[in-house]
């Protein structure tokens, strides 16, 4: 009996430590589970706070709208290529365009006239690699008129003519940009010498570099104008050097010099719209066109960000003119901008252009006279919403030299008013 009691006691003593050890392990596991649950709750709280912050940012700071392009008239042409986006799921493809509807009223001739015009352009650029890109642009308008992509409404609702307006290859490397084909204008310009719709064809290149606080840009072009199987071809060699520099925190100045040497051998591809206001003799231009141009700009942004002031002066002299009418100039003063919704821009310009001072084939078509005119112009631009722009333009003009007035009244002032609505994307 004593032996049995001793065995039971020994068994109980051996079981007690094992039970205690099991309870200790269970307690440790429970503590670890409690710590993990606490960490999970902390992480859930952090995620909730971050989600709330993201929702607040999304409702209080929307992405800024895309600004429409600036008014092209009498402003230097932009030469920087836009950054490529992924359009239609194709990496490196950038697609953009615009459409403009315009109403025009003309007064002062034998018959006052009004007309409606439409312009549509669609362009695409594909970036092949870090250096090469190709691009095209299709546009409405008469394929034989390089100065305009407008189509006048009428003609018993005929369909619009559409043509391939640009097709080019571009190479970029640092500050160098080179084009071949039919490409966007690379020169700084005003409408007096280069219409905004003219796309040069041939080869062009530009190089820009910083010079301390200033910037220097050099541009050159070989412009193929007319090719002939027998007669000498017509072309133009042109160069431009531009310098811009700040004169203070809110004041900036620019000076640009250009030379354009036209060699007009063959004119077989020309028509009446190409000759326009220049003097003609025996079916050819009377004058040669060796043009020297100087453009000076002065900009001041001290008034406010939305109301910068800009002054532009453009002077051209034709060293190859066969007559005394060899000089042209344009002065413009502008206030404001057309970059963001709510922006306004107001501009006034005055021009005097003698009969053979510029090559009429590529100058503006804003009025009935491409050369030999005196002009006062007023323009008001407004951006009501992203991608939209309204423009009101008034041209008050007359022939400069009555001897070359042609069919227009030699000394009477004429008026043209245009109201345009443009959508860009």
| 10-residue mean pLDDT series, the chain (425 residues) | 43 42 52 64 65 51 40 39 57 96 91 93 97 98 90 90 96 98 97 96 98 96 90 94 97 98 88 84 93 98 96 98 98 97 98 97 94 98 98 98 90 96 97
In the prediction, which pLDDT does 198 show?
A: 96
Alpha-carbon dihedral sign for residues 370, 371, 377, 383: positive
End-to-end CA distance of the chain: 106
In the prediction, which pLDDT does 274 show?
A: 81
Maximum alpha-carbon separation in the chain: 151
Cβ neighbors of 51 (< 8 A, separation 6 or more) are none
Cβ pair 119, 100 in contact under 8 A: yes
Residue 300: other Cβ atoms inside 10 A: 17
In the prediction, which pLDDT does 369 show?
A: 93
Nearest to 371 by CA among 339, 394, 403: 403
Q: Provide the b/e sequence for 345-358 (b: ≥16 CB within 10 Å).
A: bebebebbbbbbbb
- Residue 402 is classified by DSSP as G
C-alpha radius of gyration, the chain, whole number = 35
In the prediction, which pLDDT does 2 show?
A: 45
Domains of the chain: 65-74+89-424 (2.40.160.10)
Cβ neighbors of 366 (< 8 A, separation 6 or more) are 73, 191, 377, 393, 395, 416
CA dist 164 and 142 (Å) reads 11
């Amino acid at each position: 009996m004593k032996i049995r009691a001793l065995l039971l006691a020994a068994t109980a003593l051996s079981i007690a430590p094992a039970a205690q050890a099991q309870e200790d392990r269970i307690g440790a596991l429970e503590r670890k589970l409690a710590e993990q649950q606490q960490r999970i709750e902390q992480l859930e709280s952090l995620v909730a706070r971050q989600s709330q912050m993201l929702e607040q940012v999304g409702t209080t700071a929307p992405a800024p709208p895309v600004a429409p392009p600036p008014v092209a008239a009498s402003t230097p042409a932009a030469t920087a290529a836009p950054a490529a986006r992924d359009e239609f799921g194709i990496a490196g493809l950038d697609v953009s365009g615009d459409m403009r509807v315009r109403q025009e009223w003309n007064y002062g001739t034998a018959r006052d006239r009004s007309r409606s015009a439409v312009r549509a352009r669609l362009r695409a650029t594909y970036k092949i690699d870090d250096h090469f890109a190709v691009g095209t642009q299709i546009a409405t308008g008469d394929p034989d008129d390089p100065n305009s992509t407008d189509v006048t409404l009428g003609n018993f609702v005929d369909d619009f003519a559409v043509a391939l307006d640009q097709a080019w290859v571009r190479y970029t490397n640092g500050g160098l940009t080179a084009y071949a084909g039919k490409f966007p204008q690379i020169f700084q310009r005003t409408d007096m010498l280069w219409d905004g719709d003219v796309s040069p064809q041939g080869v062009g290149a530009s190089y820009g570099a910083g010079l301390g606080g200033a910037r220097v840009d050099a541009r050159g072009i070989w412009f193929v104008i007319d090719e002939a199987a027998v007669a000498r071809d017509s072309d133009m060699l042109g160069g431009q050097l531009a310098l811009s520099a700040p004169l203070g925190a809110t004041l900036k100045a620019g000076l640009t010099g250009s030379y354009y040497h036209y060699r007009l051998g063959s004119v077989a591809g020309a028509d009446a719209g190409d000759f326009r206001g220049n003097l003609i003799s025996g079916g050819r231009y009377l004058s040669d066109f060796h043009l020297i141009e100087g453009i000076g700009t002065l900009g001041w942004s001290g008034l406010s960000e939305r109301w910068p002031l800009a002054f532009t002066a453009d002077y051209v002299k034709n060293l190859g003119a066969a007559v005394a009418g060899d000089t042209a100039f344009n002065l413009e003063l502008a206030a404001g901008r057309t970059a963001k919704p709510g922006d306004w821009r107001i501009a006034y310009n005055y021009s005097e252009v003698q009969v053979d001072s510029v090559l009429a084939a590529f100058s503006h078509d804003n009025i009935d006279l491409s050369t030999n005119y005196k002009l006062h112009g007023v323009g008001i631009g407004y951006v009501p919403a992203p991608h939209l722009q309204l423009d009101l333009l008034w041209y008050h003009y007359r022939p400069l030299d009555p001897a070359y007035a042609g069919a227009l009244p030699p000394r009477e002032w004429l008026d043209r008013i245009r109201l345009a609505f443009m959508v860009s994307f």
